[in-house]
Every structure is written in structure tokens, then in C-alpha cells.
Structure 1
Amino acid sequence: MSEPPVTSPSSPRLAKSMAEVEDALLSRWPETRLEPSLDRIRAFTELLGEPQRAYRAVHLTGTNGKTSTSRMVDALLRALELRTGRFTSPHVERMNERISVDGEPLDDEAFVRAFNDIAPYTHMVDDDQPHPLSFFETVVGMAYAAFADAPVDVAVVEVGMGGSWDATNVIDADVAVVLPIAVDHAKYLGGTPEAIASEKSGIIKAGSVVVSAAQDPGVDAVLVARVAEVGATLLREGVDFGVSARNPAVGGQIVTLEGLRGRYEDVFLPLYGAHQAQNAAIALATVESLVGGSEPLDGELVAAAFADVTSPARLEIVRRSPTVILDAAHNPHGAAAAAAALEDSFTFDPLVGVLGVMADKDAEGLLVALEPVLAHVVVTQCSTDRAMRAETLAETAIDVFGEERVTVVPRLADAIEAAATLAEAGESVSASIGAGAVLVTGSVVTAGEARTLLTRNRRQPGTGARP
């Protein structure tokens, strides 16, 4: 399963700039190559003084929705005047996004400082282990140390992949969150939802509270068994908490949430789709579980926190005339949620897709999920060498959409331009001016590169290099 590392750093490598940090991190074993073990990260955090034990924690796993839910949990905790650290992956545009304190990504200076704080210890692990620390393991160590240094009251931590052997799992969270589980990363996690649930349930620790999204019966059974095994407490969406009502609104939706201890009515959530309402209910139950007590949270505080939530590249509108929407869906489950949200919240005519996927993903499943809402698809590829070639993707797209609804444009910037032209030219006679739109999706990398292209004038300085 494992492959030889790209390099084997044998001495600390301090950095003077963000570019040097990125270069040092990217020289390590990339997060796309895995050797399932906690040995290296345990050795690393021991050398760092077990920083992950210095604060309370929320740990999130699941197939989709982790980042959006993490951001909601973070917002609610900060509204309660708790200092937060948030670790999410992968990043959309810049590496800094992975580590946030008080709701904001570390700036370049702080990111360099966080790297240099842990760099003297990396070579000690490298020299002592069969494989050196990976990119992901190193960034996890950085995050945990930065949170302890801040210091934060609560860390909100998203797993990278799976659960049991994910590098983040050296933390013992007060609340373990399990978002909807479907098949993804089958090579490493298993080919059935139950097998994947078994791996992801590894974040559930003795004495913790488990907040679970509504799951398929087989997945639910796996979670119930794990909870019983370790002596945790299980709270289920649809049983202990949930979404009571939801109505699309300008800029998002209005939701009524049933929390663990109260009802929160007419909360504006500036994100689209039933899946984001579900994420909001899970985030609310998570925070209620963490803070404890018997009284509901302050309704105005909850409403204000949710109203400020953002989640870049999750059905994010980044341009008008024509409208361009970015979504990081990279598996069939995520694509189906995006498609449902588009039908629910928008009336674009036509909607033209720009699709770039990774070579190891279920491209056919993605295309099948999106086909009902897309009038046409422009297949493309992003810059990473992990990307599926546009010509290869086109073969599958033609099988799903038919040849007349598929255009091949390998360069992403040109693909977006071609899709915008189709969206504007293809408007129906009855449609209002500007009713056509473009959806850029298929992977986090595709969405991130498109976001950089389309919002370049708003970007902060930095290279934004990607593993």
C-alpha cells in the first residue's frame, strides 16, 4: 500500500518566507500517498510535548460536509466567546487555510513561525521511523502546536481521510462528529459504506459524545457498535436533533433547527441546499454537547453566528454576468447534494458545467449525478498531475451526456470562458437577461484554481502551492 517517500529529510529546515515553508512541506511524502499508521505522528506529538492535550476538541469525519460543518462549529463557539483553532483540509487556494485561529487563517508570518517552531523536531522523527513524516502529518503537528501556543479553548479538527489511522486521530475529542458516510477513497477505506464507517468510527473515544448525521442502517449499526465498545454516547440526527423547516431565500436559506435543548426558529444560513441545513443542525448539536448545561443557547447569538458563516467553493457565487458558481464536489454523493441544491435554490437557464476531476475518482458517478441539472458540460483538467486528462474524461462525459452536450477544453481558464459563452448564448428566448450560469466543479483543486482565476484581484500575496 505504501510507496517510497519523495525525500528523506535528515536535518531541520527553517524557513524565512511562506514560499520556503511550502517548498519544505511539499518536499515531503505527499498526502495522496498513504502508509496507514499513527506511529510517526505519535512520535512527533510526543516530541512536541503533546500539544493536542492542551485544549478541548471537536473531531469531524464523514464523506462530505466536514469543512462546512467545521466552519459552522467554529462560528458558534466564537459567538460563545471561546477562542478556537480550526484545522481543515485540503485547502481551496492557499496552504494557510488549513490552520485557523479565532476564525482566521494564519497569515504568512504566523504560518512561517508555526513551521519553524516544529521544524527542529521533524528530522528526529524522520531518522527514527521507517518512513519520514509526510506533508499531512507535519501540518497536523504544526496545527496542534499552534493551537497550544495561541492558546485556544477548543480545537475544531477535520480528518484528512478515514479516521482510525488518520494523522489527526492522536487527539481525543470531547465530541466526535460523523457526517454522512458514502463510498469514497475505496482503495484505502473499503468498498462499502459499512467498511468505511468502521474506519471512520475510529475517532470515537471512550467517554466522548458522538453527534451523527442520519445514516444508512448498515452505517448506523457500525456506529452503534463502536459507541457500545468504547463507552461513548450517541446522538442522532432525526432522533435527538434535526432540521424542522427549511425555505430557500435570497443569498441562502431560512432554517428552523431542533437542538438538543431547544428550538431555534427562522435562522438565516447564507449557504445553499438541504445538505447545508443538515450541517447546521449537526453543528448546533455539537456545540450544545460541548458546552453542556440544560438551557438552550441564546437564540440571537445562534442566529448571528450562522448569519456570518462562509464556506468557500461550496456553491459559492464568485462572478455575475454570467453567474459563475464554484463547488468542491469530488464524489457522487457530493455531486448529488450540489445538484439538489441547484434545483432547490436557483433557476438558471441554461446551466453549463465545467468539470475537472482527479484520475482516481468516480468520474462517471459525478457526471450521472450532475447530468439532470446541466444543459452542457465543458470537460477540462486542472494543473496537478493527479488530474484526469480532459480527453479521457470526455469519453465518459459523452457516454452520459451525449456527444452534442460535451465540449473538450483542456486548459481551465479557457474552459471557463467557453462555458460562459455557452451560458450567455444559450439562454432561452423566455429567459431574462443574464439567466444563464456556469458551475465549476469536480474537485477541490479545480474549484480552487478557478477561484484564484476569478478572484485574483482580491487574493492576498503568496504562492498558494498545493501538495
Structure 2
Amino acid sequence: MNYAESLLYLDELNTFGIRLGLARMEELCARLGHPERSYTTIHIAGTNGKGSVTQMLDAVHRAAGIRCGRYLSPHLVSYTERMSVDGHEIGEEAFAALLTRVRAAADAMTAEGHEHPTQFEALTALAFLYFAEEGVETAVIETGLGGLLDSTNIIEPVLTIITNVAMDHADRCGGTLLGIAEHKAGIIKEGVPVITAAAGEPLAVIERRAEELGADVFVCGEDFFAALQHAPEGGQQVAFHSLVCRESEPYALALAGGYQAENAALAIMAAKLLEREDARVTETAIRTGLRTVRHPARFEVLVRDGLPIVVDGAHNPAGMQALRAGLDAYFPVLPRVFLLGILKDKDIDAMLAALLRPGDRVVTVRPSSERAAGADVVAAVAAAMGLDTLACGDPAGALAEAAARARSDGALLVAAGSLYLVGGIRTMLGAGR
């Protein structure tokens, strides 16, 4: 297949939907020679923040001179964004060639009576194969959905990170907060250290599972701590304290948003544990990684023709709450115009309740996804809150309308609600990857 044909094939795989379970993935990777076993891995799950932590640890490894693969999802614009080696995304030609091999293995599976792999399983197998072909030493792997039955959970990592646990994907992960915690705790492996920022009952679930498997647990807020500070030279930095590591000076952090302090703490704690096994993971590498890391559409601040814009992939109530806190901290006095697009399987009411306040103006649009909620559905919720709301038919028109309203009000424009929306918005705004 060429790249265009590979995209058509991936679209065809959408017919299989989301089917949790590891049997198909194990069979597929076995037929590919188990590429996931040819390098060490770090496995990252959580409701929010796992993508940022994945990017931070990838950046730390690269700064340490360790050949590192990175796998995350979903993408903003192109499937090739999901996997990289040494900070470089896979090329379209290599993507198509490897997917051709994955397809051949999948076809052989079905010919012998096995279930056909899903789209996410095919992509994950492609990433595993890519990392093996490129000879990476370590791969930082983000889960797609949950953890226990997620396609990535066939790996045997050297370190497990569970960022936090909040309500999201409840329909597929047990229906309750404790059910979600059980799914995320499902990535814990025997004797493999666990780092987490979970709290309350979810933390109890994680600790119980870790104890059953003889895995040490390091808890943010108990074993290590982080506080966001304004750096003297501008920007922000994170003060990190740990009960098991020596005290260090604050770390400069490239990613904006108050919630990134906790994510950085998880990454720093992870690096401190990795440092014990690999002398290349030095304090200098940690600092360089955090200072240079990029993660588009996570409280990303842009300015276009004098208009300040925040692009954020917040897509659940906890993410919206964190976004609102960031807006209040960084732009406390500016009025806000929100450009929102949300998936229909999300808790739209709770998301808007966490994000919006009296006086906010809202423009809605349908994201580019089969799972998307209609612009009128989201607009109705915002209008019921008494807000000035407009539903638009296409993203380009919605962006133009939201920008016009923001300019007329001297307001901040905020695009959020789904990565399926903000990826396209970034492209329209001319933001690079």
C-alpha cells in the first residue's frame, strides 16, 4: 500500500469499532515476531495528563542520548503524529510499508478463524514494529483507552505511570470511578514500580493491585511533591520535592498550564527512578527535556494579528476544570469567547458546567469524528446556562465567527472540547506540529 491506500485501509478498520481485549493484539504481534519485546518500555495510563507525561519522558530520554520511541493517541492532523523515534515522526512511506506488513498478518489471522484486529490494534502493532525496525532502546507508550484491556497492555514495562483517575470512558471501563480505576490499575505488572497522582478511592485500588503484584508505589502528594512557580526570567518552573531523592533546584518547564506541574512531577519522579538503572539519565538531561518539550494543543498559547488564542485538547470534565483554572491564572481579566466541539459519548453538561461562567460567549461546531455531537446539541447546553451562543456548520466558519466575536469584545479566544476539533483549528491558524 502507499500512504493514501493505507488511510483508506484504516478507515475500513473503523467498521470493527472499539473492542477491548488482548487476544487479537497478542496474536497479531506474535505473527509479526513480537516486536514489542525488542526494547524496554514505559507504560503510561490516566484520565488526563498521560500525553504530556509521555512527551516529557520522551524528551528526557532524547536529551540523555537514549534512542527513544514515543507512541500516543489520538493524533491532531495525521496518523504519523502518533509515533516518533528520536523526536521525528514516522514518514508516510515508512508508515504505509509497515502497515502493509500489519495488514498481511491481520489477513492471515482472519483466514485462520481469528477475529480481525481493530484500527487501534493495527496502529499499535505498526508502532511496535516501527520501534523495533528503528532499533530504539526505550519506547514510551501511552494507553489508548483504560488500561487493563487496552491494546498496548501486552508490553512488559520497566516502569508504570498512572497519572490520575476521573470519570471518562465509563461506558467501557466499568461504569463507575472505581471501575475506571480498576481498568487503569490493570497495566500494573509484577514487581514493576508504579508512579501515580491518583487520589482517594482510585488510589486505594491502585495501591491494592500493586501490593498484590509486589510493585512499589510512589504517590504524588505523599512520596513526592510539586509546586508551580513563576520563573525569574519569565515563563514557569516547577519546584520538586521527594522523600527518596536529594533536593534539587526548580525545573524550567516549557509547557504552560497549572496542571503541568503535577505532570512534570510524575515525569521527574520517573526519571529519578530510571537514573538508578541508567547513568545517562542525568539531572542535566531531565532539565533539558522539561525545558524543551513540546505538546501541541495542551494549553497552547498563540497570537494571530494581535488576537490571543488558547488551544487546548480538554475533552472531559476534569480536563475542562483544569483548563478553566489555567485561564483564570494566566488570563484573569480578559473576557472569553469559546469555540467548542465535543464528542457525543462525553458528559457534555458536566464539561460545560466546569468550563463556562456568566458572561462567556460560545460558538459551537461539530468535530471531525463519527462520534461527534452536533453543534446544536452543545449549543443548547450552553444556551441553557444563559450564555450568548451560536452553532456553526463547519470549523472554518466557526473559527471566523469566534475570532470576530473575540476581536469585537477585546477577548481571549479559546478552542477546546476535543482533539478532533483543535487539531484542525491549529492547522487553520498556521501552527506547526
TM-score bucket of the superposed structures, by smaller chain = over 0.9
8 A Cα contact 2:228 2:238, kept in partner: yes
1:250 shift after superposition: 8.2
Instruction: Give the direction of change, closer, same or farther, for the CA distance of 1:113–1:372 in structure 2 (3 Å limit).
Output: same
Q: How does 1:59-458 map to 2 (within 5 A)?
A: 59-213=43-197, 215-247=198-230, 252-259=235-242, 260-292=244-276, 298-320=282-304, 321-347=306-332, 349-372=334-357, 375-400=360-385, 402-403=386-387, 405-427=388-410, 436-455=411-430
How many Å separate the matches in 2 of 1:123 and 1:349?
A: 55
SS in 2 for 1:151: coil
How many Å separate the matches in 1 of 2:359 and 2:65?
A: 43
How many Å separate the matches in 1 of 2:206 and 2:335?
A: 42
8 A Cα contact 1:71 1:310, kept in partner: yes
Instruction: Give the direction of change, closer, same or farther, for the CA distance of 1:230–1:307 in structure 2 (3 Å limit).
Output: same
SS in 1 for 2:195: strand
Q: Which amino acid aligns with 1:453?
A: M
1:265 shift after superposition: 1.9
How many Å separate the matches in 2 of 1:103 and 1:373?
A: 42
How many Å separate the matches in 2 of 1:358 and 1:286?
A: 33
Instruction: Give the direction of change, closer, same or farther, for the CA distance of 1:423–1:62 in structure 2 (3 Å limit).
Output: same
8 A Cα contact 2:41 2:141, kept in partner: yes
How many Å separate the matches in 2 of 1:301 and 1:392?
A: 47
SS in 2 for 1:361: coil
Percentage of identical aligned residues: 33
How many Å separate the matches in 2 of 1:111 and 1:298?
A: 33
How many Å separate the matches in 2 of 1:140 and 1:383?
A: 22
8 A Cα contact 2:70 2:141, kept in partner: yes
Superposed CA deviations along residues 146-204 of structure 1, whole A, max 9, x for unmatched, are 11111111110000101111000010111110011001011101232211010111110
1:97 shift after superposition: 0.7
SS in 2 for 1:265: coil
Unaligned runs of at least 5 residues, structure 1: 1-14, 428-435, 460-467
**Deviates most, 272-281 or 246-255:** 246-255
With normalisation by structure 1, the TM-score equals 0.87
Q: Which amino acid aligns with 1:327?
A: D
How many Å separate the matches in 2 of 1:276 and 1:212?
A: 14
SS in 1 for 2:13: coil
1:118 shift after superposition: 2.8
8 A Cα contact 1:178 1:212, kept in partner: yes
8 A Cα contact 2:227 2:261, kept in partner: no
How many Å separate the matches in 2 of 1:188 and 1:301?
A: 38
8 A Cα contact 2:317 2:354, kept in partner: yes
Structure 2 partner of 1:4: none
How many Å separate the matches in 1 of 2:44 and 2:37?
A: 17
8 A Cα contact 1:248 1:344, kept in partner: no
8 A Cα contact 1:244 1:256, kept in partner: yes
Structure 2 partner of 1:432: none
How many Å separate the matches in 2 of 1:372 and 1:269?
A: 29
Q: Which amino acid aligns with 1:447?
A: V
8 A Cα contact 1:30 1:136, kept in partner: no
SS in 1 for 2:369: coil
How many Å separate the matches in 2 of 1:128 and 1:344?
A: 57
Instruction: Give the direction of change, closer, same or farther, for the CA distance of 1:155–1:293 in structure 2 (3 Å limit).
Output: closer
**Deviates most, 320-329 or 40-49:** 320-329
Q: Which amino acid aligns with 1:437?
A: L
8 A Cα contact 1:93 1:451, kept in partner: no
Q: Which amino acid aligns with 1:240?
A: D
Instruction: Give the direction of change, closer, same or farther, for the CA distance of 1:184–1:85 in structure 2 (3 Å limit).
Output: same
CA RMSD of aligned residues (A): 2.1
Q: How many residues align?
A: 431
**Deviates most, 170-179 or 245-254:** 245-254
Instruction: Give the direction of change, closer, same or farther, for the CA distance of 1:294–1:415 in structure 2 (3 Å limit).
Output: closer
Superposed CA deviations along residues 347-396 of structure 1, whole A, max 9, x for unmatched, are 45222100110111111111111113872111221233321111121111
SS in 1 for 2:75: coil
SS in 2 for 1:381: coil
Superposed CA deviations along residues 119-164 of structure 1, whole A, max 9, x for unmatched, are 3212112233453111100111111111111111111000010111
Instruction: Give the direction of change, closer, same or farther, for the CA distance of 1:30–1:88 in structure 2 (3 Å limit).
Output: farther
Instruction: Give the direction of change, closer, same or farther, for the CA distance of 1:235–1:125 in structure 2 (3 Å limit).
Output: same
Q: Which amino acid aligns with 2:428?
A: L
